Chains A and B, each alone.
Chain A
Amino acid sequence: GIQVEQSPPDLILQEGANSTLRCNFSDSVNNLQWFHQNPWGQLINLFYIPSGTKQNGRLSATTVATERYSLLYISSSQTTDSGVYFCAGGGSQGNLIFGKGTKLSVKP
């Protein structure tokens, strides 16, 4: 099955800093999504992005499908951005394989 690798596993930022999270896939996927899990455990869908670039406020994501990776950019980070960021990929059936996540801590 598909392997999903995320880097870095942990990231500590000062408030206001920018960061880039990376997700690599072992095989082609046509269903790629990014999620944020807040400190209370709630998983929120950030992006559905099988290819191209999308932006939502201070967050943006780029997927280069031909090279099997995706990047999540966080600009001007805030303490509320803390939590774990997951990428997940899969085929057309909708079932996703998740990476192990990047744990982000934003310090005031």
Chain B
Amino acid sequence: DVKVTQSSRYLVKRTGEKVFLECVQDMDHENMFWYRQDPGLGLRLIYFSYDVKMKEKGDIPEGYSVSREKKERFSLILESASTNQTSMYLCASSLEGIGGYNSPLHFGNGTRLTVT
């Protein structure tokens, strides 16, 4: 079974702090993704990565950055946390799509971040 592990289930940070959310997958997946989930807004893509050191902006990248130094690890960074970044953050991974084929997306358990 694919396992996507997020380092923290709950996190409380103060406004202005630099926050790191870590995600590790154990299935040698090429693709990794960061989403945030908010009531009434659903899941929205922040950033994704197809390979080590590669990154692509999603729909809402403002205020975030990412790092992928190793294939199995994808980190989301909040440079200066703000209260509007209070949310559930979900990491996901999938195999590389080849020839038009895509593979199922697998999610971690999520990190509920509160910024006060």
Contact of A95 among B42, B58, B90 (CB under 8 A): B58
Query: A101 to B39, alpha carbons, bound, how many Å?
Result: 11
**Contacting residues, chain A, for B44 (C-beta < 8 A):** 98
**Contacting residues, chain A, for B105 (C-beta < 8 A):** 33, 35, 45, 88, 94, 96
Whether A48 and B104, one on each chain, are in contact in the complex, defined by CB atoms closer than 8 angstroms, is: yes
Interface string of A73-99 (1 = CB under 8 A from B): 000000000000010101011111111
Whether B43 and A95, one on each chain, are in contact in the complex, defined by CB atoms closer than 8 angstroms, is: no
Query: A31 to B98, alpha carbons, bound, how many Å?
Result: 12
Whether B58 and A101, one on each chain, are in contact in the complex, defined by CB atoms closer than 8 angstroms, is: no
| Given A42-B107, A43-B90: A31 and B42 interface contact (C-beta under 8 Å) | no
B83 at the interface (CB under 8 A from A): no
- B92 nearest in chain A by CB position: A43
Interface residues of A in 17-68 (CB under 8 A from B): 30-31, 33, 35, 41-45, 48, 50
How many residues on the A side are at the interface (Cβ–Cβ under 8 A)? 25
What residues make up the interface of B, taking CB atoms closer than 8 Å to A?
31, 33, 35, 40-45, 48, 50, 56, 58-59, 88, 90, 92, 94, 96-97, 100, 102-107, 109-110
Shortest Cβ-Cβ A-B pairs, 6 listed? A43-B107, A31-B102, A98-B43, A45-B104, A48-B104, A100-B42
- Residue contacts A-B, CB under 8 angstroms, 27 given: A30-B100, A31-B97, A33-B105, A41-B109, A42-B107, A43-B92, A43-B107, A45-B106, A48-B102, A48-B104, A50-B102, A86-B42, A86-B43, A92-B97, A92-B102, A93-B97, A94-B31, A94-B33, A94-B102, A94-B103, A95-B48, A95-B58, A97-B45, A98-B35, A98-B44, A99-B42, A100-B40
